[in-house]
Every structure is written in structure tokens, then in C-alpha cells.
Chains A and B, each alone.
Chain A
Amino acid sequence: METLLTADEARLVEGLRAGSEDAFAELMRLHGAAMLRVAQMYVSSRAVAEEVVQEAWVGVLKGIGRFEGRSSLKTWLFRIVTNTAKTRGVRESRSVPFSSLGGDDGGMVDADRFLGPDEGFAGHWAVPPESWAGAPESRLLGRETLEVIEREIVRLPPQQAAVLTMRDVEGFSSEEVCNVLELSETNQRVLLHRARSRVRRALEEYMA
């Protein structure tokens, strides 16, 4: 059968099927931390996210015998963890419907930062952003900045938070995210745009 697995992934699938603890440990090392972080985007606490990850791995072990490699192993793993987390998030009534792009239909920068239609240069900056180059370098790279970002990510609608986490924290390609979350390229980009724009805004407030 034709599969989308890399040679490494095919080896890990074979290992898991044969009950190899080494294969399991390697997969956990490769993807475990990212699975936990992505799960956290859909549920209310770290503890629940850990339960989700555990439940997802059990699902992986149950399903590995039937896994046909129609997606990459990575895509399949993250589909299982996101679906498990979404189900759990709905039970906790944290998640909005999966199809939703997550509100925020207005602009990603407050309209009053731009010149209005009655002024010359309508739509151009009235209050342009101030470069962060003026701040001490340690400020943007400090521990506190990471906390600002984490707090903002938690406030995002779950689907936006998940897209941002996979793309910008875990380094997935847009294609991988589309496959995991079964999103069109356009919707993936809309979610990413909203999420990144809000994180930038939070950083702007912090850096001011």
C-alpha cells in the first residue's frame, strides 16, 4: 500500500505494533511535549490536558494496528490528541463549535489607530506602532515576555490558540496544521492571522 510515512515513521509504526517500548519512548520524546501543549489549548487546566494526552496515547495504541499511513504518523497523532481534547473541552463547555473561526470579525488593530474617512489619508496610521528597538533588548527576550504571550494565548478561542501553537511554537508547516485540524488553507491562515495579531497587540501593550 502507498503510504505517506517517512522511513523513520514506518519504522516507529512497526515498532509500536510489535510492542517495542523503545519505539514508544522515541515517539513520546519526539511529539509528547507538543501534544501536551496543543491539548492545553482546548481544556481548562494542565491536569486535564495531561489526562487528554494519556487518553490520546491509549487511542494511538488501540488504533496503531489499523493505521494505514494515509496521513503522516505525526498528523495522525495530533489528530487523535486534538479530537480527544476537543471532546473533553466541549464537556467542560470551554470550546466553541469546531467550525467557528472564533469571532473577532473586526480589524486586528483598533480602528481608532487609523485616520477616519473624513480626514486626509483615510486608513493610514493616526497612532503608528512604536518600534521595540528602543526598549532594552532584555525586555523582549525576558521571561516575563513569555508569560505575557502565554496569557494571551489562553484567552484566544481554542481553534486559534491551537493553530498558533502548532505553527509558531511547535514549528508545524501550514499543510500539517490543515491536515491535523482538517482546515482549508484559507481558514488556517485566518485563524493564524487573528491569533498572531492579538499576541502582537499584547506585546505592544507590554512593551509600551
Chain B
Amino acid sequence: MKLFRELTCQEIVELVTSYLEDGLSPGDRERFEEHLVFCDGCGTYLEQMRQTIQVTGRLRETELPPALQERLLDAFRSWKPA
């Protein structure tokens, strides 16, 4: 059993990914959320991590460059299933 004590902000920033990944034990999750109630700095930090994830997702492209698609199709056509 861990002793109950408050988390520091320095600890919060290292736990933030585990928190977002649902990887904290119920006790740690509770301590994490309790800290957020009174700490604006950590609230901002958590929000920025969420914003970071969201903006990073906008890098996604769905199309291969057409020239590469052509090269891959050529490679496919010259391949014959054994």
C-alpha cells in the first residue's frame, strides 16, 4: 500500500500520459484528479497535452503520392503469385 500523500506538480507532468491512457491505479487516479481540483497550472498542462494530441492528429494524410502509387502498382504487376 502506498502512503497517501498529495502529488506534486512535477509528479503530475510525469503521470499525465498514464492518466490519459487509463493506466493509473484507482488510488493514483484519485490523487491525480484531486490535485487538478486546486492546481490551475496542472489543469493547463493536462489541457495542453490533450491539445497536443489533437493537433498532432491533423498531420494525417490519406493519400500516397501518385508517383509512388504507380511504382508500387508496377512492382505488383511484375510479381506473380507462386
Contacts and interface: CB of A to CB of B under 8 A. Distances in A.
B1 interface: no
Nearest to A150: B59
Nearest to B61: A33
A203 interface: yes
Contacts of A145: 55
Contacts of A189: 17-18, 21, 23
A124 B17 contact: no
Interface stretch (A17-25, A69-77, A83-91, A95-103): A17-25
A140 B64 contact: no
Contacts of A92: none
Contact of A130 (B8, B44, B75, B77): B44
B49 A114 contact: no
Given A24-B76, A169-B57, A32 B64 contact: yes
B41 A203 contact: no
A67 interface: no
- Secondary structure of the A contact surface, majority rule: helix
A199 B73 contact: no
A28 interface: yes
A114 B82 CA distance: 63
A146 B47 CA distance: 18
Given A114-B9, A129-B44, A131-B44, A58 B79 contact: yes
Interface residues of B, number: 46
29 contacts: A18-B81, A21-B73, A25-B73, A33-B62, A54-B68, A57-B75, A57-B76, A61-B79, A107-B13, A109-B13, A114-B8, A123-B9, A123-B11, A124-B8, A124-B9, A129-B45, A130-B44, A131-B44, A131-B48, A164-B56, A169-B56, A171-B57, A171-B60, A189-B23, A196-B17, A197-B17, A197-B49, A199-B56, A200-B52
Interface of B: 8-11, 13-14, 16-18, 21, 23, 39-42, 44-45, 47-49, 51-53, 55-65, 68-69, 71-73, 75-77, 79-82
Interface of A: 16-19, 21, 24-25, 28, 32-33, 36-37, 50, 53-54, 57-58, 61, 64-65, 107-109, 111, 114, 122-125, 128-132, 140-141, 145-146, 149-150, 164, 168-171, 174, 185, 189, 192-193, 196-197, 199-200, 203-204
